[in-house]
Amino acid sequence: MSKSNATAIELENLTKRFDEVVAVDNFSVGIKRGEFFSLLGPSGCGKTTTLRVIAGLETPTEGRVLLENQDVTKIPAYKRNVNTVFQDYALFPHMNVKKNIYFPLKMKKVPLENAEPKIQRVLKLVNMEGFERRLPQQLSGGQRQRIALARSLVNEPAALLLDEPLGALDFKLRVAMQKVLKDIQRNVGITFVYVTHDQTEAMTMSDRIAVMKDGLVHQIGSPDEIYNDPATAFVASFIGDMNFLNGTVLFMSDREGKVEVSGNTIRTRKPKKVSGGGKEVLLCIRSERVLLNPHNSQLDNVIKSRLKRIVFRGTDYEATCIFDESEIRAVVGATVWDHSLREGDSVRVGFNSKDVVMFPIEEERDVIKYSVEAV
């Protein structure tokens, strides 16, 4: 499990336009060898297009693609040493499992005798030994997925590109396959570029994630960075459960900020993007960082509010509290929930300034909202 600092894939100012639509906008990144790198975002954000450019199935409008430090921008897909696992697997229906897996080796003119051990090795890797003679139509979704994976790995490519490979599987199977994929990636030590719209998937499997929207890369970072230090309001809203409050800046220094929200003064983390007082801003706080009726007087922010709604979610309780026109959700573990609380009660909500992230109000339009209008 060695992750050297060598770069497996590098994108330099990659831009792809279809007519007037900008699918990918100036994407630059260096993906390290052996890294599990995810492209995460809602549909239409450009993640699949980026993947196809790396694979060579699309040519970029501007920019370069480098594979192992070689410029492959002009090189067609069949000459590149990367393989793709497609969302619908694309197993050749007129070939059985063995012939499907043999196909890439056949294209490299490897005779069948030499190929046999390699084929057996990948079949073992995906736990599908014995299925050589089956046809794709005779396999289940999960089995087809594993054969597609095997087929892409048999040539030992420099990197494996996966386009939402688990999208067609049901939940339990998906979770199981996530583990399988991660194990294979670690064992083989191969670079993975993984496209998904499922943030949990990306968070659990990746070394680093690039969060995209409408062709723009909002942030590239580790799951921890993405979660705790979102670069934009969109990233903040896309991952996990985030509270959003509108306020006006009262005071700004290079160590902290003070924002007025519905008559309350809220102390925030060191502001990165906002400068100057009087500006309207968006404050973000993770709902699990909001405490109800906190004892700890060391909390920077405590607001009086009214408990509007309590929802029991099995492992935790979600309490929605309102103060003036602002609404804030607190998620409290079931074991520490105060069962005397009732809807309509007055409660104090508290959170630390280091948990409050500030964004300019213009970024509010990127926030993923879940409401009736949004449907």
Partner 1 sequence: MDRKKRRFDSPRSYSKGVPIVVWLLFLVVVPLIFTFTMSFYSSKGLVIEKILTLKNYKLFFTDPVYSRILFKSLRLALSVSVLSIAMAYPLAYMVSFKMARGRNLLFMMCIIPLWVSYLVRIIAWRSILGNRGVINSALMTIGIIQEPLRIFLYNRFAIAVTLTYICIPFVFIPVYTALEKIPRNILNAANDLGANELHSFLNVVLPLSLPGLITGFIFSFIIALGDYIIPLQLGGTQGIMFGNLIWSQFGFAFNWPFGAALGFILFVISVTILGLTAKFGSTEGGFLSE
Partner 2 sequence: MSNAIGKGKLEKRGVGLKLYGLLIFVFLYVPLCVVLVFSFSPTKTLVGMSGVTAKWYKELVQDQELLKALLHSFEVGISAVLIALLFGTSGAFFITKVRFPGKGLFRALVMLPFVLPGIIMGLTLLIFIKNLNITLSMFTIMMGHVSFTTPIVMFQVSARLQRMGPNFQLAAQDLGATPFKTFWYVTLPMIRTALIGAALLAFTVSFDEIVISYFLTGTWMTLPVYLYGMLRFGLSPKVYAVSGLILVFSLSLILLMTRYIGRSSEEVLVKR
Q: Does 92 bind partner 2 (CB under 8 A)?
A: yes
Q: Is 51 or 292 the residue whose CB approaches partner 2 more closely?
A: 51
Q: Does 60 bind partner 2 (CB under 8 A)?
A: no
Structure tokens at 180: 């399988």
**CB within 8 A of 113, min separation 6: which ones?**
none
Among 88, 324, 338, 343, binds partner 2 (CB under 8 A): 88
C-alpha to C-alpha distance for 206 and 192, rounded to whole angstroms: 9
CB of 38 to partner 2, least distance (A): 20
Q: Does 295 bind partner 2 (CB under 8 A)?
A: no
Structure tokens at 128: 């599908």
* 189 interacts with, out of partner 2, partner 1, none, CB within 5 to 8 A per kind: none
Q: Which amino acid is at 259?
A: V
Label residue 241 exposed, middle or buried (CB < 10 Å: 0-12, 13-18, 19+): exposed
* From 50-58, 167-175, 275-283, 353-361, span contacting partner 2 (CB under 8 A): 50-58
Burial 319-342 (b: 16+ CB within 10 A, else e): bbbebeebbbbbbbeeeeeeeebe
Q: Does 78 bind partner 2 (CB under 8 A)?
A: yes
Which residue, chain included where needed, has tokens 């309509």? 344
Q: Give residues 20-39 in contact with partner 1 (rule: CB under 8 A).
A: 20
Among 93, 189, 277, 333, binds partner 2 (CB under 8 A): 93
CB of 107 to partner 2, least distance (A): 4
Among 17, 182, 270, 289, binds partner 1 (CB under 8 A): 17
- Closest C-alpha to 246, from 261, 256, 233: 261
Q: Which CA distances in Å does 148 have to 94, 101, 178, 193, 339?
A: 15, 8, 15, 16, 51
Which stretch of DSSP H or E encloses residue 333?
strand 326-333
CB 314 within 8 A of CB 261: no
CB of 163 to partner 2, least distance (A): 10
Q: What is the end-to-end Cα distance of the chain in Å, rounded?
A: 44
* 74 interacts with, out of partner 1, partner 2, none, CB within 5 to 8 A per kind: none
Among 19, 113, 224, 373, binds partner 1 (CB under 8 A): 19
Q: Give residues 109-138 in contact with partner 2 (rule: CB under 8 A).
A: 135, 137
Q: Report which DSSP code applies to 108.
A: T
User: How far does CA 345 lie from the centroid of its chain?
Assistant: 38
Q: Give residues 34-63 in contact with partner 1 (rule: CB under 8 A).
A: 61
C-alpha to C-alpha distance for 309 and 260, rounded to whole angstroms: 24
* From 52-60, 65-73, 200-208, 244-252, span contacting partner 2 (CB under 8 A): 52-60
* 137 interacts with, out of partner 2, partner 1, none, CB within 5 to 8 A per kind: partner 2
Among 38, 143, 152, 185, binds partner 2 (CB under 8 A): 152
Q: Does 254 bind partner 1 (CB under 8 A)?
A: no
Q: Does 151 bind partner 2 (CB under 8 A)?
A: yes
Residues that bind partner 2 (CB under 8 A): 55-57, 76-79, 82-84, 86, 88, 90, 92-94, 103-104, 106-108, 135, 137, 151-152, 155
Residues that bind partner 1 (CB under 8 A): 17-20, 61
